[in-house]
Structure 1
Amino acid sequence: MKIFTAEKIRKCDEFTIANEPIASVQLMERAAQACVYWISENCKIHKSFAIFCGNGNNGGDGFAIARLLYLKGFDVDVFVKDVKGSFSQDAAINYKKLKDFSGISIKEFKDFQKERIPEQTICIDAVFGTGLSRKVEGEEMKIINKLNSLQNIKISIDIPSGLFADKNIDENSAVFKADYTLSFQFWKRSFLYPETGKYAGKVVILDIGLHSQYINETDTSNFTIDDGLIEKIFKPRNEYSHKGSFGKVGIIGGSYGKMGAAVLSVKAALKSGTGLVFALSPKYGYDILQISSPEAMFIEGGKNYIENIEIDQDIVLGIGPGLAIHQETEEGLVNFLKNYSSPVILDADALNIISKDSSYINLVPKNSIITPHPKEFERLFGKTKDSFERSDLAVHKAIELKICIVLKDHHTQVITPEGNVFYNVTGNSGLAKGGSGDILTGIITSLLAQGYSSENAAVLGVWLHGKSADFAAEKHSKESMQPSDVIKELETTFLYINKKVTKKL
């Protein structure tokens, strides 16, 4: 799915109004109907709503939602800054319609400050939309802070009030903290970064029928990784194939006390469909790897550290899980990269070694994939003030080095050599455990070996990783799930995507 800026979303609305054609107030009604349908389907046990409306079009959405909820039999109270205030044209139309219903009370924000509402009442935020360009102040700030202090379920319409669609917020800004955000048609970039995404809660994308021509023809460099994209990338197996059809993987890693990282990566590569998997590790890892992963083959890479890396050119390499950063290993990796030109996947200690000398990063072959978490990224490329700036720097480096960067975060980003950013929306906090990154390395390496391009291997890899983690969390909980559970659930994820792409009579 494309991610548009607030300005492009506004233009998409205008294009829809002009070319469907549809009146702007009718488009507002359509958006409100989509919200009310979701609310009525998902909030059936709740009977009362308090809706907080601003003076602009987001407030107009709120007025229309209030009317439609009332018509469905819910109890609705509406709060505005000033009952005699000036509203946008479409908001004024819906405000007038709302006043015709005697059963809906319309009060001011200051009245709410004195009230105590039952915890069963759902609070709906329709104060500010994507057009906000300033820090929230005055009565709006007071009402947002008051609402944030309540334990009630909170829903934002399109975007939490106080949040910007495309950039970070200032420190100590007043932002509505939603449990759910009902976003119209598109994800906003701010939903996908830790500093701002925490305010959106669970994001629900509602299709309100914005014009497909504008969406298809308008360029963007930002996308979400959703099922539709994965269905285009994923290649089902040809029944007339053999193990040689699915490539060879070499996982280079493991050291004293860290053999588990190599084991997890090897197992993930095997479970992701590659034909043959080799593990290159120190001699003492032989028994561990052969017992834990009998399907893989072992190549000795040194008695104590990985001192020599000699691999056939037809093997796709994932380097780093549990590698350690001993001098001998550093020399071995650097010498190898100086003489190797095929794409590789670099993670963990491979990245830590490369970060020791600023010249090393230039040895990484073109179209390779690096998978840093924020600290590893900082060691490689320097500090940034926030995750938005880190993402911008990653785009610059991916273009400069002609590599893919998998920037691991709550919403992991795949950044391509063309400067495109793909945000993953699968996965959960259960992945915040040692070993999760080693699994991702194995998955992506396996996919690259199977013939996927570097971009598609990275995009499909992070989706598989996150989706399998979601299945694991359903079975084991986010707290108790282990990285090995994620490997096990790869089978569930492959069944899921195969079912989606299989042609049926």
Structure 2
Amino acid sequence: MLPLLTAQQIREADAYTIATEPVSSVDLIERASRAFVGWFINHFPDRTATIAVYCGTGNNGGDGLAIARMLYDHKYFNIGIKVARFSDRSTDDFTVNLNRINQMGLEVLELKPGAVFPAENSKIIIDALLGTGLNKPLAGDYKNLAGYINSLNKTVVAVDVPTGLFTDGEIGADDTVIKADLAITFQQPRINFLLPESGPHINCWEVVNIGIDEGFISSLKSPYQFIEEKDIKKLLKPRRHYSNKGTYGHALIVAGQAQAMGAALLSSASCAYAGAGLTTACIPESGLTALNTYQPEVMAIVRHGDELPEIKWAQFTTIGIGPGLGKDSRALTLLIDILDNYKAPIVMDADALNLLAGNPELWNKVPAGSILTPHMKEFDRLFGEHANWWQRLQSSIKMAKKHNIYIILKNDYTLVASPDGTVCFNSTSNPAMATGGMGDVLTGIITSLVAQGYTPGEACIIGVYIHGKAGDDLALPNRLNVVLPGRLAAQLPVTMAKLMA
């Protein structure tokens, strides 16, 4: 896992690297700027492009000055440098880099407090005004400058983080942030890049390695982690000779009602495609023909009206419940029956979560190690209203520990909160997957993995990754605008095989 650091931890890691490598602070800026420029020139190769570099007077501004100098050395001669001199304070590293710019004879325009901002005719703006040290929303001259830059409708590339965006913590709905088409950030993604509040401010981001001491980063024990492909390759277990269907578990999917059989079909099919040795769907009688037609490999336990189905609990390795189940009294009675009789970890999604939210006394019956897979609205029904995603992130940590469960909170960078207080962000998926039924497929995948003998924590991490990776394998090479859930489910064996190759 790649540790994700808070702003304070980033400063600690920088300081440790400077002290122990050893490397001077200004040379670390040189290293970061060189990494930035290496990425920039490969993706903005037009040397005739006009570029404006806006610098503050802190170390982020020092980065900007070094970047301007290096771009000039790479024959980007149409560079304008603007320094926001809104106070008398500046860092030593900024001053060193300003002196280097002056020695090259490059012109620097200083922006003074309260002054009218000059016309900006450059095609590309590099934002190096404020970095990860921001501790309050923009105000005064910086707020006005950020608003001015946003009004220009230029291509904006941010150095490390867009000015006005906190690395971690709550982002206010009314905060002024420079809108970056691209943020080139250092060493690892910033935590807030992975939360939806960053969406209006960052179109995309890239990480460049600047050689911060990785051993020290790991020693900081950040609760926030980023799932990488190498993690999944270590966890996935290839099938072996002399195994059989019994080797890979028996999953029960309790889902569907007469008007919502699609959810049951998708979740049970994805359970089979993800590798469960046996999959049984507990469905209403009206859905039996649909199940046999859509996925004949899936067996059925039929629900008749208000009668509870007869379930031989011991034959199932795990249970997934909720997709399309409904929220009526029959669904509630069925959920209670499962919670009363099945004590191993289960996977709860959709209507099972809504029933739990409406009947909080059931929390005492949820088996330890169970997995809940809410989207944002279901999460808030379960745990109360939240003003923003940072609050949801903190609640997911608290509630996973309190109830000894795993919480998968679905979004672009789906997060997995564990009972040990860690949160892992998924690194796969794409907008083509934003279609109804994707959550049902994820439920089937997670249930399948638990049935196969993966721990609940492993099932969560593998499940969210291969779910997103299958979508990436379909959408990105083929430039698909939409990936349908059924097609994604069928892609799972191919994606998993590639990861285990």
Whether 1:90 aligns to 2:89 is no
Residue 183 of structure 1: how far off its partner (Å): 1.2
Q: CA deviation at 1:404?
A: 0.5
Matches within 5 A, 1:283-322: 283-300=285-302, 302-304=303-305, 307-308=308-309, 310-315=311-316, 316-322=318-324
1:83 positional shift? 10
2:3 counterpart of 1:2: yes
Give the stretch that moved more between structures: 368-377 or 221-230.
Answer: 221-230
CA distance in 2, matches of 1:306, 1:202: 52
Instruction: Indicate yes or no: 2:121 matched with 1:117.
Output: yes
Question: Residue type of the partner of 2:233?
Answer: E
1:502 corresponds in structure 2 to: none
Q: Are 2:206 and 1:199 aligned?
A: no
TM-score by length of 1: 0.93
Cα displacement string for residues 180-219 of structure 1 (whole angstroms, at most 9, x for unaligned residues) = 1111112222111111344233121111111122123221
1:123 positional shift: 1.1
Q: Which moved more, 1:31-40 or 1:152-161?
A: 152-161
CA distance in 2, matches of 1:17, 1:129: 18
Match in the other structure for 2:410: 408
Pair 375,478 (structure 1): closer, same or farther in 2 beyond 3 Å: farther
Tell me how far 1:179 sits from its aligned partner. 1.4
Is the partner of 1:359 in helix, strand or coil? helix
Contact 2:270 2:489 in 1 (8 A): yes
Equivalent positions of 1:95-494 (< 5 A) are: 95-102=98-105, 104-109=106-111, 113-118=117-122, 121-300=123-302, 302-304=303-305, 307-308=308-309, 310-315=311-316, 316-474=318-476, 479-494=481-496
Larger mean CA deviation between 51-60 and 276-285 belongs to 276-285
Distance in 2 (CA, whole Å) between partners of 1:418 and 1:278 is 32
TM-score (norm. length: structure 2):
0.94
| Shift, 1:309, TM fit | 5.7
Letter in 1 for 2:136: R
1:488 deviation in Å?
Answer: 3.2
Distance in 2 (CA, whole Å) between partners of 1:325 and 1:307 is: 15
**Structure 1 residue 472, shift from structure 2 partner:** 2.7
Report Cα offsets for 1:391-418 as digits up to 9, x if no partner: 2122111111111011112221101111
After TM superposition, give the deviation of residue 318 of structure 1 in Å. Answer: 0.9
In structure 1, list runs of 5 or more residues that go unmatched: 500-505
CA distance 1:371–1:106, change in 2 (3 Å): same
Distance 1:112 1:242, change over 3 A: farther
- Aligned-residue Cα RMSD (Å) equals 2.0
User: Secondary structure in 1 aligned to 2:127?
Assistant: strand
Displacement of 1:305 in angstroms is: 6.1
CA distance in 1, matches of 2:260, 2:275: 25
Counterparts of 1:488 and 1:92, CA distance in 2: 58
Give CA-to-partner distance per residue, 1:35-93, whole Å, 9 cap, x none. 00000111114633211110100000001111011101113211111399652101110
* Counterpart contact for 1:424–1:463, Cα < 8 Å: yes
Distance 1:309 1:109, change over 3 A: farther
- Greater CA deviation, 18-27 or 194-203? 194-203
Amino acid at match of 2:31: R
AA of the residue aligned to 2:39: W
Relative to structure 1, the CA distance from residue 168 to residue 293 in structure 2 (aligned partners, 3 Å threshold; closer, same or farther) is: same
Deviates more, 1:435-444 or 1:156-165: 156-165
Structure 1 residue aligned with 2:21: 20
SS of residue paired to 1:140: helix
Which of 79, 82, 86 matches 2:82?
Answer: 79
Question: Which gives a bigger RCO, structure 1 or 2 (Cα 8 Å, sep 6+)?
Answer: 2
Which AA in structure 2 matches 1:172?
D
- Closer, same or farther in 2 for the Cα pair 1:144/1:496, shift >3 Å? farther
Structure 2 residue matching 1:313: 3-state secondary structure = helix
Q: Secondary structure at the match of 1:417?
A: coil
Give the whole-Å Cα distance in 2 for the aligned partners of 1:61 and 1:252: 56
Q: Distance in 2 between matches of 1:279 and 1:323?
A: 12
Contact kept? 2:225, 2:423, Cα under 8 Å: yes
The answer to whether the 8 A contact 1:109-1:139 is kept is: no
Amino acid in the other structure paired with 1:93? V
Q: Does the Cα contact within 8 Å between 1:306 and 1:329 map onto a contact in 2?
A: no
Residue 306 of structure 1, CA deviation: 7.4
Kept in 2, the 8 Å contact 1:80–1:108? The answer is yes
| Uncovered stretches (5+) of structure 2, i.e. residues with no partner | none
CA distance in 1, matches of 2:248, 2:463: 15
Distance 1:187 1:314, change over 3 A: farther
Alpha-carbon distance, 1:32 to partner: 0.4
Q: Is the 8 A contact 2:273 2:489 kept in 1?
A: yes
Shift in Å at residue 478 of structure 1?
A: 6.0
Instruction: Give me the whole-angstrom Cα distance separating, in 2, the residues matched to 1:477 and 1:350.
Output: 35
Asked if the contact 1:407–1:414 (Cα under 8 Å) also holds between the matched residues in 2, the reply is yes
Distance 1:242 1:71, change over 3 A: same
1:331 Cα shift? 1.0
Aligned pairs, number: 495
Q: Give the Cα–Cα distance (whole angstroms) in 2 for the partners of residues 354 and 136 of structure 1.
A: 41
User: d(CA) in 2 for partners of 1:325 and 1:230?
Assistant: 35
The alpha carbon displacement at 1:374 in A equals 1.4
State whether residues 76 and 105 of structure 1, in contact with CA within 8 Å, keep that contact through their aligned partners in structure 2.
no
| Aligned partner of residue 179 in structure 1, secondary structure | strand
Q: In 1, distance between residues paired with 2:408 and 2:148?
A: 39
